[in-house]
Structure 1
Amino acid sequence: MDPRIFATVFVTVFVAELGDKTQLATLLFSADRPASRWTVFVASASALVLAAGIGVLAGGWLAQHVSPRHLKLLAGAGFMVIGAWTLRSAFTA
């Protein structure tokens, strides 16, 4: 395992998840009195692991069929579209 890649992926995903709707949903479930915090933690952690696994499998499959350059361009364009949409919604609200 490459520690530099591990650290890069960990920090990127950790920062991306802070304040995300996933974290807020987990916070709300945890604040619910009848819910066990341990159950909420295990369920949300399992869901994130499964989602990451799907992402890794899909990325591996895509890498076999699409060049890395095109994947980077597509990902960058996707983030730009999401950013523009977010800015637009902030100004039109």
Structure 2
Amino acid sequence: MLPAFLTIFLTVFLAELGDKTQLATLLFATEENRSPWLVFAAAALALVASTGLAVLLGSMAERHLSALPLKLIAGVGFMVIGAWTLWGHFQSA
């Protein structure tokens, strides 16, 4: 159980480093007259809620799809997002 927990934790932690959500949180924390604890609590609650939704949807999808198609769908989804990001970069250059 601990190896699975550590694998999930490290994967999500590394995936979140430097993403748009973290940068937005950083910017919220720089605003004057805003408590860092308020930013932390709001951001943490938002991440917990979005993760809960992902776990719920993943659990529901698992009942209807085998693991291979889910990994395939996730992989293709990441490739589409990556291609879209690259496309946007080269369009603005």
TM-score, with length taken from structure 1: 0.91
Q: What stretches of structure 1 of length at least 5 have no aligned partner?
A: none
What fraction of aligned residue pairs are identical, expressed as a percent?
55
Aligned to 1:45: 44
2:27 and 2:90 map into 1 onto residues whose CA distance is 28
CA-CA distance at 1:91 after TM superposition: 2.4
Structure 1 range deviating more: 81-90 or 54-63: 81-90
How many residues of Structure 1 are paired with residues of Structure 2 in the alignment? Answer: 92
SS of 1:22 mapped into structure 2 = helix
* Residue type at the aligned position of 2:71: K
Aligned to 1:79: 78
* Residue type at the aligned position of 2:52: G
Aligned to 1:23: 22
* Residue type at the aligned position of 1:47: A
CA-CA distance at 1:15 after TM superposition: 1.2
TM-score, with length taken from structure 2: 0.91
Deviations 1:5-46 (A, max 9, x none): 111111111111111111111111111111100111011001
Runs in 1 of length 4+ with deviation above 6 angstroms?
none
1:83 and 1:25 map into 2 onto residues whose CA distance is 20
SS of 1:86 mapped into structure 2 = helix
* Residue type at the aligned position of 1:64: R
